[in-house]
Amino acid sequence: MENFFKLKENKTTISRELTAGLTTFFAMVYIIFVNPGMLSQTGMPYGAVFLATIIAIVIGTLIMGLFANVPYALAPGMGLNAFFTYTVVFNLGFSWQEALGMVFICGLINVLITVTKIRKQIIRAIPESLQHAIGGGIGIFIAYIGLKNAGFLTFTADPGTWTESFGTIFADSSIIPGLTDFSSVVPVLALFGVILTVILLLLKVKGAILIGIVAATLVGIPLGVTNVANISFSAEALKLPFTQLGETFGQAFVGIGGIFSNVAKLPAALLAIFAFSLTDTFDTIGTFIGTGRRTGIFSDEDMAAIENGKGFKTKMEKALIADSVATSIGAIFGTSNTTTYIESAAGIEAGGRTGLTSVFTAIFFALCVVLAPVVGVVPAAATAPALIVVGVMMVGSFKEIDWNDFGIALPAFFSAVLMALAYNISYGIAFGFILYILVKVVRKQAKEVHPILWVSSGLFLLYFVLNAVF
């Protein structure tokens, strides 16, 4: 194990990797319940999506750990599953089988652009100032997710400023965020978790983040937030997901046939595939750059080796392949795009430095097939503190940006802030790219812009236009 994962070389231990893997697991385990809840609205059987979600996580994360030897976990992406459900199926009118077919094709495209080094060329094309902005922006994003999950925020929409579609509320920009009054036990429990985790971190207690999650979960029992009453096991409940999996397994191939048999809907299908691929690619690249560069998981030498290396010798190259393959595998079993999770940052901050962290995370998710009732009792208020403190740690990347140069500060600011406010890593990157080019053009330095940035920005603009039209 030492030789395979190079633990000493990465200055870590088995126990530290175990703690990191468990921390990542708790930070993102919500997805095995949220994803089937989202996709089942399209008519997909809940149990099948539940099991497909776990399978996609386990296989993708194991590939990441064993092949790339980096501490990242993969799962069906939030935002991508919403696009799958509300845009592709509900708005564009495709069946869920056809949507799965699009996800499978997206995975193949991502494999192709990774093998041909297009993905890696994109990474090299991103200016260093924007790389640091992406890292800090992801920190804001993670902290914002934590604040929302903690119940610290409330949002007020005036009458007539919101609409409802398929049970989802869409409010316009007049909505006003505010701080909760803490009259509910949920934000109080989360506040306890934040304070405890912060104290443990300041005292440099090992496993501080994980201890905070467990402690908040236990305190939540008498408060009624941790619902232990939901813990129950039955043979029928355990059998149902396996029975239903047959209804989704391989349906992506049926969907592909449906996509190309209807010429009238082909343009919309290609648009959806493009959107899936674009978002997946930049979410992953943003996560790797934002977390890997700051922590040293992807060193400057590793980043430089991408340009000169052949095959898949660097950790970054292998990680990109693992992420790409996982999307197609997930589609085969019956779930939306599988992507590298930013919640992996929680495990990384807990000390995870090698693929052993990912292996442990995958094992914990595999156990969820039979232990889901137990795992499901960990409330979001207990994991929210972990996301908040990790976000605080990650914004340190901002110190590497020259904020006194407005031409550098402008794209960096919008790239970082819009990730959280738009709840989408790719949107932040898109605005960063576009504004960076604008600055260079105005300063008559357009020749300094890498061709990939021109192409990527053009594609982002096309995506925004087509998204507005459709």
Rounded CA separation 470/463 (Å): 10
Assign 153 to helix, strand or coil.
strand
Query: Which residues fall within 8 angstroms of residue 372, CB to CB, at 6 or more apart?
Result: 32, 50
DSSP state letters, 83-133:
IIIIIIIIIT---HHHHHHHHHHHHHHHHHHHHTTHHHHHHHHS-HHHHHH
Please tell me the pTM assigned to this model: 0.76
Rounded CA separation 6/27 (Å): 25
Q: Residue range 112-123: average pLDDT?
A: 78
Q: Residue range 224-246: average pLDDT?
A: 82
**CA distance from start to end of the chain:** 51
Query: What pLDDT shows up at residue 381?
Result: 92
Amino acid 426 reads S
| Among 349, 328, 441, CA closest to 395 | 349
Rounded CA separation 450/262 (Å): 38
Query: What pLDDT shows up at residue 109?
Result: 92
Query: What pLDDT shows up at residue 276?
Result: 87
Rounded CA separation 311/331 (Å): 26
Query: What pLDDT shows up at residue 4?
Result: 92
Instruction: Provide the pLDDT confidence category of residue 466 given band limits of 50, 70 and 90.
Output: confident
% of the chain surpassing 90 pLDDT: 46
Amino acid 357 reads T
Query: What pLDDT shows up at residue 227?
Result: 85
* Higher-pLDDT residue of 48, 311: 48
pLDDT tens sequence across 319-354:
988 999 999 999 999 999 999 998 898 899 889 999
pLDDT tens sequence across 11-59:
899 999 999 999 999 888 888 888 888 899 899 998 899 999 999 999 9
Query: What pLDDT shows up at residue 245?
Result: 94
DSSP state letters, 437-459:
HHHHHHTT-GGGS-HHHHHHHHH
Domain ranges of the chain: 2-144+234-377, 398-469
DSSP state letters, 254-308:
HHHHHHHH-GGGHHHHHHHHHHHHHHHHHHHHHHIIIIIHHHTSS-HHHHHHHHH
pLDDT tens sequence across 244-289:
999 999 999 999 999 988 887 888 888 789 878 877 888 888 888 7
Query: What pLDDT shows up at residue 432?
Result: 93
What is the rounded average pLDDT for all residues in the chain? 87
List the structure tokens of 297. 């998981």
pLDDT tens sequence across 403-458:
999 999 999 999 999 988 888 777 888 899 999 999 999 999 999 999 989 998 99
| Among 151, 127, 57, CA closest to 368 | 57
pLDDT tens sequence across 146-205:
899 899 999 998 888 888 766 677 888 888 999 999 999 999 999 999 999 999 989 988
Query: What pLDDT shows up at residue 114?
Result: 81
For residue 329, give the DSSP letter: H
* Higher-pLDDT residue of 275, 60: 60
Assign 173 to helix, strand or coil.
coil
Query: What pLDDT shows up at residue 262?
Result: 82
Amino acid 100 reads L
For residue 1, give the DSSP letter: -
Query: What pLDDT shows up at residue 172?
Result: 85
| Cα-Cα-Cα-Cα dihedral sign, residues 176, 177, 179, 185 | positive
pLDDT tens sequence across 378-418:
888 998 898 898 888 888 889 889 999 999 999 999 999 99
